[in-house]
Amino acid sequence: MNLNLTLCKEIMAQHPYRLLFATVSGAHLYGFPSPDSDYDLRGVHVLPPAELLSLHAPRETVESEGIYSGVEIDLVTHDAGQFFGLMLKRNGYVLEQLLSPLVVFTTPEHAELRQLAAACITRHHAHHYLGFAQTQWSLFAKESPPRVKPLLYVYRVLLTGIHLTRTGTVEANLPNLNAGFGLPYIAELIDRKTGGNEQGTLDGADLAFHEREYLRLRGLLESEYARSTLPETPSAREAMSDLLVRIRLPA
């Protein structure tokens, strides 16, 4: 399914707040969208000072779902302050959104924030990917018949975590990741997902094999964490704080 960036731009143009950036996440970013995959639009908005200073709770997160031109759109944006705070935690998901090459809307501040992302990465991001992989494996293992989607998420998350812990860089696209890992079963799973539908199942799948691979890759991520020389804590806090003030109070 080709990604309709024009439609994405039209949706984001209706956002109620000033945007810092908007990107596409989900299956399109990960490299295995089905023909009926929804569009996961993610981004950062900037709340005006009046809303931040009033007695009313600020709208830190904007969420909406709907069908536009026959496409299901799932939109989530966070206020800049909230998003910056998540970047300074071991949250790989927000880094993937920030660094997504599928850009719908951008600003100079977005480019500046992307430059700061590397100084947010620590060895402890491995825990994010270990936990996410466990969640996806539990989802996959309890279904009958098992579905392709959660299994692909298991492998995508583990390979992203291993790659990040080894290199200090974020790569969320599974075909790109597998070019370095060379796992022979990944291409077949992606073909099943991209050639079928979002709820496609794995009839006759060798579940024991995939469980062994899950445990092997999980063990590899744990080993990479143990030997990682990445920083213990992010070093971007002051630079991000300065950027946030400039975003909040433009000249």
> 79-101, pLDDT tens digit by residue?
999 999 999 999 999 999 999 99
Residue 57 phi, psi dihedral angles, 5° rounding: -65, 130
Q: From residue 36, how far is each of 21, 32, 201, 237, 243 by CA, in Å?
A: 25, 11, 15, 40, 38
pLDDT confidence tier of residue 184, bands split at 50, 70 and 90: very high
Determine how many CB atoms are found less than 10 A away from the CB of residue 236. 19
Task: Give the tens place of pLDDT for each residue, 206-215.
Answer: 888 999 999 9
- Is the domain spanning 5-120+234-248 CATH 3.40.605.10? The answer is no
Where, residue-wise, is CATH 3.30.460.10 in the chain? Answer: 5-120+234-248
Q: What is the pLDDT of residue 78?
A: 98
Return the pLDDT at 114: 98
Residue 44, phi then psi, degrees to nearest 5: -130, 130
DSSP string over 186-231: HHHHHHHHHHS-TT-B-TT--HHHHHHHHHHHHHHHHHHHHH--S-
What is the model's pTM? 0.94
Q: Please, which pLDDT band fits residue 250 given cuts at 50, 70 and 90?
A: confident
Whole-angstrom distance, CA of residue 84 vs CA of residue 138: 30
CA 224, CA 165: separation in Å to the nearest integer?
6
pLDDT band at 198 (very low <50, low <70, confident <90, very high): low
Tell me what percent of the chain is helix, strand and coil, each rounded to the nearest 5: 55, 15, 30
pLDDT tens string 125-183 = 999 999 999 999 999 989 888 889 999 999 999 999 999 999 999 999 999 999 999 99
Average pLDDT value over all residues in the chain: 94
Sign of the C-alpha dihedral, residues 40, 43, 47, 48? negative
DSSP letter for each residue of 102-168: -EEE--HHHHHHHHHHGGG--TTHHHHHHHHHHHHHHHHHH-SSPBHHHHHHHHHHHHHHHHHHHHS
**The predicted structure's pLDDT at residue 1:** 52
CA distance 85 to 45: 14
Neighbouring residues of 182: CB distance < 8 A, sequence distance ≥ 6:
none
